[in-house]
A and B are shown apart, each in its own frame.
Chain A
Amino acid sequence: MNAEWLSNFVGEDIAFWLAYFTNGAHRAWYASFRFTIFAALFGALLALIFGLFGAMLKNARFFLIRGIGHTYTGMVRGIPDVLFFLFFPLAFVQAIEWINAQFVCTPEMIAATQSNWPPCREAAIYFSTGEYLILACVALGIVYGAFVANVIHGAMRAVPKGQLEAARAYGMSATQVLLRIHIRQMWVYALPGLSNVWMLLIKATALLSLLQVADIVWWAGQLGAPNYLPQAGLVHGDWRWGYYTALFVFYIFVTLLSERFFQRVTVWARRGMPVEV
């Protein structure tokens, strides 16, 4: 990027900033957006699956299963997502290590290990960024799945009884009523709630750096941190405000895009239904 023709073409200042904003560290920052986008999409998919499952449990006839559903939505919704985000991957890793230790560790190994965890060092498991990312998505899925379960549970009840009675009167079986009428009309009532949950989930993707995933927030802090060593690159003061502003703009952009998307989907879900006045 330091090519002379570029300096001649756009001027030295612009060429300098172009080179700065395309250096390796910045390219790594741009590339790290994939973690956030992946976490949002895969987390949302899992949340939808957990949500449908949770709603099914809450609608179950048998009171014990219904109880499990209510416990899931009640408990997970009440716990701060940051806590759950820290708790779930840690608990999962330790559980795997514990299981591993049952096979691997001998009493001598355990005696030779000085730290309390894992039981012996041979049982230690090192999780890579990709694996932590997936664990983070599962954590997001569990937390926001509880919200989705409530939204869908409510939406199922919001479908007018008359619609279902009419369907039965036409001779549809219970399954046909569920698939063709109940779930089909449920989406109209669920979409506003789902779009809210999606917005919450987008915001929670900023927590990825807590799990040592070098995500957009981590890189923004890294790039904006003051640098006083010429060997490390451009010497500058505290520029984090600039980098965090860029993240603000990114999240606002995603918000606007999501609103558009949900408007479209709502129009699609309402097709064939009377226009509300």
Chain B
Amino acid sequence: MKKVILAAAVLALASTAANAQTVRIGTEGAYAPWNFVNNEGELAGYEIDLANAICEHAGLDCEIVQNDWDSIIPNLLAGNYDVIMAGMSITEERLQTINFTQDYFPPDPSKYVAAAGEEFDFDNLSGIRIGVQGNTIQAAFAEENLADGNTIIAFATPDQSVADLAAGNIDLLLADGSFLDPVVTNSGGAIVFVGPEELIGGGVGGGVRKEDTELLATLDEALDALKADGTVDALRAQWFDGAEPAYTE
């Protein structure tokens, strides 16, 4: 048994050494159009294209891996991957645990959606079932501002929250506008925007461990260059229908 453990340890050491040059990027893979699994069974989306552009520009050898949203920060800290690119908004709370690159998507207003025909009094919401994705800025916002008199339901995946809204298990869904836009456009009129827009988080950036200052500088440098040459805005326009240029004049 001792030999087995030793052998395993040696193997692990060897594989750690071999992987030292590779930058692993963790993403959720369930958040269209940011990051998702496409019809070919491969990861695709804005952040996948952007990650590849960053790696190419910085000359990094990159590998993109999927990780559930709930454990995406703990697994970054544990070393399963080195960068989070998963539509994560830069917030004060998260900055206490990890560092962020500069934003690669400007602050995105959160929106409410509901089944068509439902009406809500947004000045005085009560007795409403409000869905959010767990551990998101919307979840924190809802707990703070909407929990009184309403039921907040946190879902593990964004898909699940939309499915439950469509099935009538929740009345309202609060999520990033960039995620909800294609949902409303392609739902055939079944799901509509209601109520005000809430500006909750900062921009979206890549998350890295606090001790990885060198990697952070490399990523920021690459983002500077890609913003300046218009790559970031071109990708935004490609994936977010009609997104206005934000990083070029």
A195 interface hit (Cβ, 8 Å): no
Q: How far is the CB of B94 from chain A (nearest CB, A)?
A: 14
Let me know if B154 is at the binding interface, CB within 8 A.
no
Given A25-B39, A229-B182, A238-B166, check contact A115 B33 (CB 8 Å): no
Interface centre among B32, B37, B41, B182 (most CB of A within 10 A): B41
Please provide the chain A residues from 78 to 130 with a CB less than 8 Å away from any CB of chain B in the complex.
96, 99-100, 103-104, 112-115, 117-118, 121-122, 124-126
Question: Are A103 and B79 in contact (CB-based, < 8 A)?
Answer: no
Report A-chain residues with C-beta under 8 Å of the C-beta of B183: 228
Contacts of B119 in A (CB 8 A): none
Kindly state the interface size class of chain A when it binds its partner: 35 or more
Q: Please, which residues of chain A bring their CB within 8 A of the CB of B121?
A: none
User: Of A25, A99, A126, which one neighbours B37 at CB under 8 angstroms?
Assistant: A25
Residues of chain B contacted by A25 (CB below 8 angstroms): 37-41
| Contact residues of A between 17 and 33, Cβ < 8 Å to B | 23-29
**Chain B, interface SS category:** mixed
Q: Is the C-beta of A225 less than 8 angstroms from some C-beta in chain B? A: yes
Nearest chain A residue, comparing its CB with the CB of B67: A212
Distance, CA A126 to CA B19, complexed state (A): 10
Residues of B within 8 A of A238 (CB): 163, 166-167
Chain B stretch 178-215: residues in CB contact (< 8 A) with chain A: 182-183, 185-187, 209-211
Contacting A at CB under 8 A, from B6-62, are 8-9, 12-13, 15-16, 19, 24, 30, 32-33, 36-42, 44-45
Q: A125-B12, A228-B32, A229-B32 are in contact. Are A113 and B39 (CB under 8 A)?
A: no
CA distance A222 to B36 in the complex (A): 10
A225/B42 contact (C-beta < 8 A), A114-B211, A124-B79 known:
no
The reply to whether B12 and A222 form a contact with Cβ atoms under 8 Å apart is no
Closest chain-A Cβ to B45's Cβ sits at a distance in Å of 8
The 0/1 profile, CB within 8 Å of B marked 1, for residues 199-239 of chain A is: 00000000000001000000000100111111111110110
CB distance from B36 to the nearest CB of A (A): 5
Contact B9 A100, beta carbon cutoff 8 Å: yes
Establish whether residues A232 and B33, one from each chain, have CB atoms under 8 Å apart when the complex forms: yes
Docked pose: A113 CA to B210 CA in angstroms:
9
| Residues of chain B at interface, number, CB under 8 A | 45
Known A-B contacts A225-B30, A228-B185; the reply to A112 vs B211 at CB < 8 A is yes
* A230 and B12 within 8 A (CB): no
Closest-by-CB residue of B relative to A237 is B166
Contacts of A27 in B (CB 8 A): 41
Q: How far is the CA of A229 from the CA of B67 in the complex (A)?
A: 21
Kindly list chain B residues whose C-beta atoms are within 8 Å of the C-beta of A122. 16
Q: Given contacts A96-B5, A112-B211, A228-B185, is CB(A24)–CB(B39) below 8 Å? A: yes
Instruction: Tell whether B148 is near chain A: CB-to-CB under 8 Å.
Output: no
Contacts of B167 in A (CB 8 A): 238
B224 touches A (CB below 8 Å): no
Query: If the complex has contacts A96-B12, A125-B16, A228-B186, are A28 and B41 also in contact, measured as CB distance less than 8 A?
Result: yes
Given contacts A25-B37, A222-B30, 6 further A-B contacts (CB under 8 A): A24-B42, A100-B9, A115-B78, A226-B163, A232-B32, A232-B33
The interface of chain A, by Cβ under 8 A from chain B, is: 23-29, 96, 99-100, 103-104, 112-115, 117-118, 121-122, 124-126, 212, 222, 225-235, 237-238, 240
27 A-B residue contacts at CB 8 Å?
A23-B40, A24-B38, A28-B41, A99-B9, A100-B9, A100-B13, A103-B13, A104-B13, A114-B77, A115-B74, A117-B78, A118-B79, A212-B67, A212-B68, A222-B30, A225-B157, A226-B163, A226-B166, A228-B162, A228-B182, A228-B185, A228-B187, A232-B44, A234-B39, A235-B186, A237-B166, A240-B163
